[in-house]
Amino acid sequence: MCIENGSEYCSMKHKLILPLVRGVCLLLVMVGIVDNVIGQGSPYIATSQNYFCAGSANEVSMYCNVLAFDPGTNVADWEFSWSPSSEVSDPTAQSVTVAPANTTVYSAVMTAPDGTVYNDEITITVYPEFSVLTSDVSGCSTIGLNLTADVDVSNAMDWLWEPAFGLSNASIQNPQLFEELTQLYTVTATISGLGGASCSNSAEVQVTSIFPELELGPNVVACSEETVIIDPGLPLNYTYEWTTAGEVLPVLEVTNSGTFGVTVTSPEGCENSDAVTVTFTDGPILNLPDSATGCADAGLTLDATPSDLMTGPFGYLWSNGSNSPDATFFESTMALVQVTDAGGCTSSESIWLEVLPSPSFVFPEDTALCFEDYPEATYQLDVPAGYASYQWLNGSSLNTFELEGPGFYSVVVTNDIGCSSERYVSVVDFCSEPFLFVPSAFTPDGDGLNEVLRIEGRNVIQLDFKLYSRWGNLVWEADSIGDYWHGQGPERTHYVQDELYIWQAKYRHFTDPEGQLSPWLQSKGSVRIIR
């Protein structure tokens, strides 16, 4: 701070502190506040950082400020001498860079052009390197273990453990494990309160769970002639105690159905247990008949699902190629099936199937009729006579049926041995010839009769209709059958003149019931407005 004539007269710009002329100049260390005071009228050393960590790549820049003596001072006329000279970038420069390994006091001698000598010094504090002290942890159960860390200095520390998974708190010195795991952690300690410096170091902690990982697997289904080997898959230096009396080997050979358990103990004394159930089978138990009878139309369906489902899932193979639990046959045959259980054990059966004939007759396919054009026509569905019974969808029991119009029609025919066949047909109303009708006149006079020009038609799917005045102006257009014109202008604010109007139309229609569209057809005519 510089004071001239009783008032403050100083400025700070970037890292520079510039006391002005002939005032009381103070030693300032740039850590945000005025730090030291030196004699009146003296230049000073300034720096942006007084503290840093040993071994870091940080460098500290310092400079001697001499501009306070005269705004016209030529710095090049001053002489500077820094010490210790071996630890500064240039001992004769106004500004120097230092990188001390230890806390060091730097001083500078500043000689003015008139020979006046000034001195100042500054202390750069270097915090020594420190170590993070840790210990690996292991146990039969890692849940509840504490991870420990310490440092070989007495400074206050901030702590960070990575990864944070499984830890009670990743930001404390000694967190607790909440998970059963084997995991490598890194802990970082950071000295706090260093006046801008941040000194850190890290170490690793290996967490090892020595709890035996024992998994005997799912329950086993095997064939009676087989031997099942139960292998925990753990080291040979573990001890094994099976529930089978006297068995202490690492693996167990099983030839009888039952539940088999084992307790294993690691060399550290850690124990774990598991059990597995083994079921021996002679193959799936099938309950198929020796023979079966069915009708050809419905087919004869057999189900080979075993009665004992505990040895599943099952695989199926029928003589007709089916891989499902059931299979359907439509002809008399010797049907064969092979069923395999989860243990690979197989059972086979053969069944004689007699498939009886069902009624066989020709029935019309889905068809289209034009009921509109031929309202007096009679359409009939016929089924050959001589069968035991007929049952139509509407309840009729005759062998003939008169169509009442478009719709869905079905009949069930039963022969004298009790086999039935069902036939059905869909009848649609379709008139292939299109019909487009436009009146030649209409009377929009408000009497309620013939008030609008309405487009009528049949089997018209796409329409482009335009109405023109005799001067060729478009007065109305439509795109579908049933659209109508009221005889007014486009804004519906007035009626158009009573005169003759010309219309042109393009349209397309279905050429078959499947929806095939025709090419565009054209038609034209005229209509007169009469009032």
In sign, the C-alpha dihedral spanning 383, 424, 461, 480 is positive
Return the domain boundaries, the chain.
3-127, 132-209, 220-281, 291-356, 367-429, 435-529
Angle subtended at Cα 33 by Cα 68 and Cα 90, rounded to the nearest 5 degrees: 55
Q: How far is CA 359 from CA 294, 295, 400, in A?
A: 13, 10, 16
pLDDT of the residue at 382? 87
Least confident of 216-225, 321-330, 486-495, 512-521: 486-495
Beta strands in 59-177 (DSSP E): 60-65, 79-83, 95-98, 104-111, 117-127, 132-134, 137-139, 149-151, 157-162
29 band by pLDDT with thresholds 50, 70 and 90: very low
Q: For residues 120 and 38, what is the distance between their CA atoms, to the nearest angstrom?
A: 8
User: Over the stretch 65-101, which tens digit does the pLDDT of each residue have?
Assistant: 776 555 556 778 888 999 999 889 899 988 888 888 8
Average the pLDDT over 145-164 and give the result: 91
pLDDT of the residue at 211? 83
Average the pLDDT over 398-404 and give the result: 86
Tokens of 90: 């240039």
Greater confidence (114 vs 352) lies with: 352
CATH 2.40.30.10 corresponds to the domain 3-127: no
Average the pLDDT over 471-497 and give the result: 85
Average the pLDDT over 519-529 and give the result: 91
Q: 435-529: what CATH class?
A: mainly beta
DSSP 194-227: ETTEEEEEEEEEEEEE-S------S-EEEETT--
Residue 12 has pLDDT above 60, yes or no: no
pLDDT of the residue at 514? 78
Query: The domain at 291-356 falls in which architecture?
Result: Sandwich (2.60)
CA-based nearest residue to 485, from 471, 469, 472: 469
Contact predicate 59/47, CB 8 Å: no
Q: For residues 98 and 270, what is the distance between their CA atoms, to the nearest angstrom?
A: 58
Contact predicate 62/123, CB 8 Å: no
Residue 365 has pLDDT above 70, yes or no: yes
In the chain, what percentage of residues exceed pLDDT 90? 34
DSSP 27-52: ---BTTB------TT--EEEES-SEE
Contact predicate 291/354, CB 8 Å: yes
- The answer to whether the predicted template modeling score (pTM) of the entire model surpasses 0.75 is no
pLDDT of the residue at 82? 92
Q: Which residue has the tokens 């960590």?
A: 53
Q: For residues 26 and 8, what is the distance between their CA atoms, to the nearest angstrom?
A: 12
Greater confidence (396 vs 39) lies with: 396
Q: Residue type at 438?
A: V
261 band by pLDDT with thresholds 50, 70 and 90: very high
Greater confidence (30 vs 259) lies with: 259
Tokens of 450: 């013939």
User: Over the stretch 402-428, which tens digit does the pLDDT of each residue have?
Assistant: 887 888 889 999 999 899 999 888 887
Q: For residues 89 and 79, what is the distance between their CA atoms, to the nearest angstrom?
A: 16
Q: For residues 134 and 184, what is the distance between their CA atoms, to the nearest angstrom?
A: 12
Q: How many CB atoms lie within 10 A of CB 204?
A: 11
Region at 32 (left for phi over 0; alpha for psi -120 to 50; beta for the rest): left
DSSP state of 423: E
CATH 3.40.190.170 corresponds to the domain 132-209: no
Residue 34 has pLDDT above 50, yes or no: no
pLDDT of the residue at 388? 93
Q: Is 323 helix (H, G, I), strand (E, B) or coil?
A: coil
Mean pLDDT of all residues belonging to the chain: 82
Residue 14 has pLDDT above 50, yes or no: no
Q: For residues 377 and 381, what is the distance between their CA atoms, to the nearest angstrom?
A: 14
Q: How far is CA 273 from CA 140, 256, 479, in A?
A: 13, 21, 81
- 435-529: same fold as 3-127? yes
Contact predicate 440/458, CB 8 Å: no
Least confident of 10-19, 53-62, 324-333, 441-450: 10-19
Greater confidence (142 vs 508) lies with: 508
